[in-house]
């Protein structure tokens, strides 16, 4: 896959939750997980298993878990749900990814809103690590970096960041949303006129006690 920088991101609704499941139903993602992750630098403190995964309550909660009926060699896939462009949610996300990396040895993060390998070396290669962390945190809090990007930038060589979007389809969705936003004011005005007309028709048609 080609290297890429993150694509234009869309705001989504919010739950800070996660699901742990075997990647067996997702062969393309499973193949990526098996080939793209960087080697583990430390021995994980805990074995990663969808049925026994634990996370600190301060970082989120597990909403669902699934394992195949038969033993599988497929890697475990963790799906993190968050609030996009929300500073607090992205801070929690970066902390959660750091926890999963340090405790369970996670070495590959697959992110939406990007396609292909997200090369963060441009940012993480600066020699002054504290300044890099401060700038990355400021960009994360301004919704210019995600929590995943912040973690990859501030922990170079410890995690590989890959976007899973189909770029043409993604931009088609962005275009459709932008067109919908452009027509929002017109649609709202039309709905207001229709509502007013219905109220006037109801007042003229029904007894007053029914329209109170």
What confidence tens digit (pLDDT) does each residue in 123-159 have?
898 889 999 999 999 999 999 999 999 999 999 989 8
Phi, psi of 109 (to 5 degrees): -120, 120
Over 60: is that where the pLDDT of 25 sits? no
On the question of pLDDT at 24 being above 60, the answer is no
Hey, is 149 helix, strand or coil?
Answer: helix
Angle between helix axes 147-154 and 129-141 (nearest 10 degrees) is 180
Q: Cα separation of 209 and 212, whole Å?
A: 6
> Residue 141: how many CB atoms within 10 A of its CB?
15
CA–CA–CA angle 81, 84, 86 (5° rounding) = 115
**Is residue 27's pLDDT more than 60?**
no
């Amino acid at each position: 896959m080609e290297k890429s920088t993150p694509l234009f991101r869309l705001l989504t609704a919010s739950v800070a939750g996660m699901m742990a499941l075997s990647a067996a139903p997702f062969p393309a993602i499973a193949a990526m997980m098996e080939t793209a992750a960087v080697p583990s630098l430390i021995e994980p403190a805990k074995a990663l298993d969808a049925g026994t995964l634990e996370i600190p309550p301060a970082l989120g909660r597990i909403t669902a878990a699934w394992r195949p009926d038969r033993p599988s060699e497929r890697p475990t896939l963790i799906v993190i749900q968050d609030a996009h462009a929300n500073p607090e949610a992205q801070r929690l996300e970066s902390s959660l990814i750091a926890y999963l990396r340090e405790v369970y040895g996670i070495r590959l993060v697959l992110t939406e809103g990007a396609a292909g390998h997200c090369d963060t070396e441009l940012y993480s290669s600066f020699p002054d690590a504290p300044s890099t962390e401060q700038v990355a945190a400021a960009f994360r809090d301004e919704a210019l970096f995600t929590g995943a990007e912040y973690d990859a930038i501030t922990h170079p060589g410890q995690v590989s960041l890959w976007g899973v979007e189909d770029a043409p389809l993604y931009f088609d969705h962005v275009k459709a949303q932008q067109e919908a936003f452009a027509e929002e004011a017109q649609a709202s005005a039309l709905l207001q006129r229709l509502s007013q007309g219905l109220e006037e028709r109801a007042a003229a048609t029904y007894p007053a006690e029914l329209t109170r």
